[in-house]
Structure 1
C-alpha cells in the first residue's frame, strides 16, 4: 500500500471528516467544524507520525473520541490570544 503525508489524504477523506464532525454535533459538542476535527487530528493524533497509509488515516478519524476532541478544544481555548487578553482585562480591573 502507498504511504503519503496525511495532508495528501485530506481531499480523499473529506467526507469521513464531515461524518465525524456531524457525529460530534449529534452528541451535543456544539458547532463542530470539519476543519476543527482535522486540526485536532493533526495536533493530537498525528503529532509524531504524519506519513501513513490511507486505511490508517481513516481508522484514526473513526477512532477519534469526543474526549480527545474536547481536550484539544480546551487547550486551544486556553492558548488563544483572545482568552489571554480577556484574563488580562479582568485582572487589571480589580
Structure 2
C-alpha cells in the first residue's frame, strides 16, 4: 500500500490501538485510551511526519514503549496544569489574586 496521511489510517488500525491500550493498562496505566495512544504517537513518534504506510503505523503502535507514553502523559499533565492556572489567574480566582 502507498503512503497516506496518518489520519486516513486511524479507523483501520483501531484494533492495534485498542491492543496497545490494553497492554498499557496491564502495566498500570489505567487512564490509557486508544485515542490517548494515538495522540502520543502523533506528538512523540511521528512529530509532524504525516505520510506513512499502513505497516509503518502498525509497527509504531506495537513498538511504542511505556516510557514514551509516560513521558507524553507527564507533559500533558504539566500543560493542563499550566492552562488551569492561567484560566484561574484570568478570572481572578487564584490565590495570588487575594493578596
Q: Which has more radius of gyration?
A: 2
Segments of structure 2 that go 5 or more residues without pairing to the other structure are none
Q: Using structure 2 for the length normalisation, give the TM-score.
A: 0.82
Q: Which has the higher contact order (CA 8 A, sep 6+)?
A: 1
Show the 5 A alignment for 1:4-83.
4-80=4-80, 81-82=83-84
Runs of 4+ in 1 over 4 A off after TM superposition: none
- Count the aligned residue pairs: 92
Deviation of 1:29 (Å): 1.3
Deviation of 1:31 (Å): 1.8
Segments of structure 1 that go 5 or more residues without pairing to the other structure are none
Within 2, Cα distance between the matches of 1:75 and 1:37?
A: 14
Within 2, Cα distance between the matches of 1:4 and 1:63?
A: 20
